[in-house]
Amino acid sequence: MDDAAVSARRCSPTVHVHDVQSLLERPQRARDPIDIVMTPEQLHQRNCKRALAQRSRPRSSVLFRTPIDVASRVLSTHEGRAVETLDRLDRLRLFRTLLDEPPAGVGALTTVYGTALTEHAESIEVAREELQLLTGGRADRAEALDDVRSSLSAAASADTRALRTGVGALVDALDERVAAAPAPGAVFRACASAIEETDGAVWSATFPTIERIDLAGVSTLGAPIRDFLTAVEAATDVAVHYYLRAGTGPRIARRLAARSGIADTAPDRVDPSPDRRLDQPPRTTEIAVETRHDEARTAAAIVDGALEAGAGVDDVALVARDVDRYERPVRRALSTYGRHPSVWTQLPLTRTLPYRLVAAVCELLGAAAADDIAADTLVEPLALQWIAPRGRRDRPTPPSTIHALDRALDGASRSRVGWLTAVGKLDGVDTTAREAAAGLLNWIGQQPAEPAPADICSVLEPVVDAFEEGVLPRRAASDGPDYTETAQTARAVERVAGTDDGDHLLRETRAKYADWLERGHLDPSWDTVLTVLDALATARPGRREHANAERIDVLDATDAWLRTYSLVIALGFVDGEWPQRPHGELPAELRAAIVRGQTRSARQFPVRGAWSTERDLDHFADAVRAATDHLVVTRYTRDVDGVRYDRSPLLAHLDANRLAPERVRRLRAGDASTLHDWIDDGTSVGGGGR
């Protein structure tokens, strides 16, 4: 259904900007759920449940789901089979295989990335995501994008055309290979079509009692999700509410209202956007120090002082725009006071390479113990870049040779010894792939079939160590300029196997596995180990299991959404870090034209959060709102090389009292005075203070 066709049916979503009150007041006791609350991350769902519990609100009327979960269920009903999506890691692996021998049309990407396309797979994937977000696979929006492109410089126009052509050809080739496992955007598109074709019947069959959908916690409203929700609203009696955030919300609301100039799709209510000043707690303090490490030590002193004065650990949180930059200095600073952080990072652990590699090895060990190894079970660790622990090879097997090996094995199933014989006789397969498969088979033959708890770390930690030494440096060499993939993979290595004597996933699995064996819950096996591993990995890293565990929450700012603490210390308010510089993979001119929205064609398109600084205002507003009694904002003025940093422009949204340098020194020296006393002496710098 194109935009013109939508106008034939009444579609009037309700939009709330920086106002979640009605979201938290609506839940009620009900025999069947009547609302679906959709959030982009599971942590946002937990935060919403936590906020409802704090208000003593029942949850029986609400289903908490991610948008892709809802769309997949509807599509599964329509197709009569379970729908599995192709996740990002699998797509990247297949992209690299395709880019080794590019299909027709993909060569257009060399205009942007040069001839070594495989080295730019991550960047190409980001470009695919951004194009999908803009057009949702619709021809009319592709034409509108061409209209915007025509207003750009010759170079930006050529790069945009090359990206559209090359990425489109790559996606077509990928779809042919994995038609049964579509990308999320394709699932939303197919789901919207199914709802339209059945006039809403497939939705009603899947969610017969649902009266309302609330989409919350988003900073980007991409075309695929928007089309999906529009189809639901057009074909059913379900009401749709968008709960938008302080920074990105006003623009999203305007784009919804003006989309293609169709009045019938305009929201029937848009709550006012917030004023320049944000709602803030009774006390707000600004502290400036020299370095990031000084900042961490100051924050630790405030935390210790609050706890010594009687605050509970649940009353205090540290928030940063990018918690990875602060985890180590904050952990070190808190340890000097005998305090311990609980770092809540937005790490999708089960989708990371280190975790998937460990899980694949466990599955293979379990299959070997049963003497029945399927071909894909054998190949999976190799595809996930397994390197033999303490082996001769120090690098993973190339994806193209693994793909050839997978084809040669042809889906067979054999014992470990049977596979050793079969692999040795394979024709037409690179020697490297045969040696890697034989090495893996020999290695699993040396491991216990019925692991004791101690075997978990002794067997699996070397697997992660080999990955860290042989794979991680190569990912860094081929990563983008912001090293996003490398940083996430390094965090996953730390979370899975750690580098010190602290807790990590394998040690937690060892302890839980021992407990389950002792209680007689399960028999000793690698399948059991995998069950425990998965159960722990899907729990939020850093989550406290005991109410009396003294752990101070350290959060990414986006994870502060709907959370509340008496005292919030927000770190890193320097220009360039909070807010960060806008970035993206599509040409900067194209992104800027869409952000400005000066033409009707440009206003059709959503704005990705990373394309402007408005997403950082979202996170900032969440951090401010999380503080119920006292907000402390901190910043550093130089780095270790002496480079000076300016005060964040986001602080213009606050009226804060600036703590004098002498007071800061007294605080870090352990002065017994409370921060509240110092505020009374502080000078209000307000929003315009420098």
- Fold matches, 3-84+185-270 and 283-347+548-684: yes
CATH homologous superfamily of 283-347+548-684? P-loop containing nucleotide triphosphate hydrolases (3.40.50.300)
Distance between CA atoms of 300 and 303, rounded to whole angstroms? 5
Distance between CA atoms of 285 and 288, rounded to whole angstroms? 10
Q: Which one-letter amino acid corresponds to residue 240?
A: V
Domain residue extents for the chain: 3-84+185-270, 88-181, 283-347+548-684, 350-537
Q: Of all residues in the chain, what percent are helix, strand and coil, respectively (each to 5)?
A: 55, 10, 35
Distance between CA atoms of 257 and 235, rounded to whole angstroms? 19
Q: What DSSP string describes 492-519? A: HHHHHH-SSSS--HHHHHHHHHHHHHHH
- Contact between residue 275 and residue 622 where contact means Cβ atoms under 8 Å apart: no
- Contact between residue 440 and residue 381 where contact means Cβ atoms under 8 Å apart: yes
From 234, 295, 254, select the one nearest 645 (Cα to Cα): 295
- Contact between residue 593 and residue 220 where contact means Cβ atoms under 8 Å apart: no
CATH number of this structure's domain 3-84+185-270: 3.40.50.300
CA torsion, points 609, 284, 22, 560, in degrees to nearest 10?
Answer: 50
Distance between CA atoms of 61 and 38, rounded to whole angstroms? 14
Contacts 24+ apart (CB under 8 A), 468-475: 468/354, 468/493, 468/497, 469/387, 469/394, 470/385, 470/387, 470/393, 470/394, 470/395, 470/396, 471/353, 471/385, 471/387, 471/395, 471/396, 474/395, 474/396
- Which strand ranges, in their side-by-side order, compose the sheet holding 14-17? 62-65, 35-38, 212-218, 239-244, 14-17, 269-270
Q: What was the pLDDT predicted at 571?
A: 98
Q: Residue 453: which residues within 8 A CB-CB, separation 6 or more?
A: 510, 511, 513, 514, 517
Give the residue ranges of the chain where pLDDT is below 70.
1-11, 89, 180, 259-277, 345-347, 391-393, 478-485, 487, 499-503, 519, 521, 539-550, 672-690
Q: What was the pLDDT predicted at 262?
A: 39
Pairing of strands 683-684, 657-658: antiparallel
Q: What was the pLDDT predicted at 397?
A: 86
Q: How far is CA 238 from CA 11, 214, 348, in A?
A: 10, 10, 31
Q: How far is CA 307 from CA 147, 461, 594, 674, in A?
A: 59, 37, 48, 11
Q: What was the pLDDT predicted at 679?
A: 47
Tell me how far apart the 2 most distant CA atoms of the chain are, in Å: 82
Q: How many CB atoms lie within 10 A of CB 84?
A: 13
Q: What was the pLDDT predicted at 347?
A: 67
What is the tens place of the pLDDT at every residue in 97-138? 899 889 999 999 999 999 999 989 999 999 999 999 999 989
Residue found under tokens 């400005």: 596
Q: Which two tokens stand for residue 444?
A: 């699993």
What is the tens place of the pLDDT at every residue in 355-408? 999 999 999 999 999 999 999 899 999 999 999 997 666 788 888 788 888 888
Phi, psi (degrees; rounded to nearest 5) at 527: -65, -40
- Residue 487, class by beta-carbon neighbours within 10 Å (0-12 exposed, 13-18 middle, 19+ buried)? middle
In the chain, what is the straight-line distance between the N-terminal and C-terminal CA atoms, in Å? Answer: 52
Q: What was the pLDDT predicted at 683?
A: 43
User: 197-228 burial by CB neighbour count: b if 16+ within 10 A, else e?
Assistant: ebebebbbebbeebebbbbbbbbbbbbbbbbb
Q: What was the pLDDT predicted at 35?
A: 97
- Contact between residue 320 and residue 635 where contact means Cβ atoms under 8 Å apart: no
Q: How many CB atoms lie within 10 A of CB 637?
A: 16
Distance between CA atoms of 666 and 669, rounded to whole angstroms? 5
Distance between CA atoms of 143 and 247, rounded to whole angstroms? 29
